[in-house]
């Protein structure tokens, strides 16, 4: 995104992608992961602009049906300001089927957020709301 001192990255994020089978359909999902801003540069809007730009890139990509990720609950307003919406009752199942990491695991305080880019976003939202989503991204980015 921007740079602070010469050569230093000010803020960054990772976009992850995978197909998700849910509610009788297959959806091409993208997720935000590892969203971070250098501590000394926080509060300047860099992260917000970066997340907003990422959402715009995903919305313009015909290969993405839904953006979906979890975040610490207190960060929900930050992501909502960038155009994402909270999905009440939705749980992401991270990790692997053999070693799952659910976003409602005891000790976590996670919210699941999304943006829908299908021709009928209301119907897609209904499929993704109040459900457990088998994301299973693996052992590196265990929960996006």
Of 39, 27, 113, nearest to 72 by C-alpha is: 113
DSSP output for 79-134: HHHTT-EE-TT-EEEEE-SSSEEETT-TT--EEEEEEE-SSSHHHHHHHHSSSEEE
Task: Report pLDDT digits (tens) over 26-37.
Answer: 999 999 999 999
Q: What six digits make up the tokens of 95?
A: 């990790």
pLDDT value for 5:
59
Chain segment 55-76, per-residue pLDDT in tens? 999 999 999 999 999 999 999 9
Global pTM? Answer: 0.90
Residues 6+ positions from 34 with CB-CB distance below 8 Å: 12, 13, 14, 141
pLDDT tens for the chain, 144 residues long, are 444 456 789 999 999 999 999 999 999 999 999 999 999 999 999 999 999 999 999 999 999 999 999 999 999 999 999 999 999 999 999 999 999 999 999 999 999 999 999 999 999 999 999 999 999 998 888 888
């Amino acid at each position: 995104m921007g740079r602070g001192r010469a050569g230093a990255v000010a803020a960054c994020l990772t976009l992850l992608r995978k197909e998700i089978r849910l509610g009788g359909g297959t959806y091409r999902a993208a997720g935000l992961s590892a969203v971070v801003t250098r501590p000394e540069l926080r509060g300047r809007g860099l992260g917000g602009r970066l997340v907003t730009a990422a959402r715009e890139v995903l919305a313009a990509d015909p290969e993405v049906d839904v953006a979906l990720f979890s975040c610490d609950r207190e960060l929900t307003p930050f992501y909502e300001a960038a155009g994402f919406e909270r999905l009440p009752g939705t749980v992401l199942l991270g990790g692997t089927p053999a070693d799952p990491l659910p976003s409602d695991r005891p000790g976590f305080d996670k919210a699941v957020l999304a943006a829908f880019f299908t021709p009928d976003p209301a119907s897609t939202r209904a499929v993704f709301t109040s459900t457990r989503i088998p994301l299973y991204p693996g052992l590196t980015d265990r929960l996006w």
